[in-house]
Amino acid sequence: MSESERSAGDRDRRAQRRSKPTEEGDQAVPDLEAEPVESGRPEGPRNGGPGSGRAFSGGQWIVLWLVITLGVAAGHLLSNLITSVAVAYQMRIVMSDLAKGFGQVATDAQQEVQQAAKRREAERRARRRESDRGQSLARQCQDWRAAREEMDSFTTRRNTEKYCGAYREYIQTGRVSTD
């Protein structure tokens, strides 16, 4: 018998011994140990066996490492870019909403300030009407209007315009101009 036939027979006997059921009735577990091949090395992914692909040399591992590293870095950069674009879009929406809100608040505040100014001016006019000077000018204006109704002349028209104008000016500005 040749050496290869003898080793094949030894293998078959070992496999049969291991695959026989035991006394407890368990199933036999097949032999998972790799048998030596003709080269003397067991078959496997590192030794050109099934599933091995091709073996890398030292320089190829560096290239593979660089490619993977660059891919991961590019992925992170792309993720950061996408995130920053999304955040910028959301910020634009928020800022436009804030601008609208501030614009409305500013408009409301401006209207409130204008209304307050109108109220203060109306109060000042009322105080001027009730003051001694305002009542005196109002009486003079009323007297010249009555005189004009009785006798329409150049003097009555001119003095009506003068004293009634002075009264309106005093109520509006608080000053009286004397011509």
51-71 burial string, b = 16+ CB within 10 Å, else e? eeeeeeeeeeeeeeeeeeeee
Q: Which carries the bigger pLDDT value, residue 46 or residue 112? A: 112
For residue 17, pLDDT beyond 90 = no
pLDDT at position 103 is 85
Containing H/E element for 172?
helix 154-173
Task: Of 15-24, 28-37, 163-172, give the range with the top mean pLDDT.
Answer: 163-172
Using an 8 Å Cβ cutoff, are 177 and 169 in contact? yes
Stretch among 2-11, 16-25, 121-130 having the lowest mean pLDDT: 16-25
Cβ-based neighbours of 171, under 8 Å, separated by 6 or more:
125, 128, 129, 134
Kindly calculate the radius of gyration of the chain based on its CA atoms and give it in whole angstroms: 55
Closest CA relative to residue 143, chosen from 125, 167, 170, 178 = 167
Contact indicator for 169, 175 with CB cutoff of 8 Å = yes
What predicted TM-score, i.e. pTM, was given to this entire model?
Answer: 0.41
Range 77-98 average pLDDT = 95
Structure confidence at residue 179 (pLDDT): 57
**pLDDT at 57 (0 to 100):** 80
DSSP, collapsed to helix, strand or coil, labels residue 52 as coil
35-75 residue pLDDT tens: 555 555 555 555 554 555 567 787 899 999 999 999 999 99
User: What pLDDT was estimated at residue 26?
Assistant: 52
Question: 36 pairs with which residues across the strands?
Answer: 42
Give 97 or 38, the one with higher predicted confidence: 97
pLDDT tens-digit profile of 140-171? Answer: 999 999 999 999 899 999 999 999 999 999 99
Mean of the per-residue pLDDT values of the chain: 80
Residue 125 is encoded by which pair of tokens? 């006019």
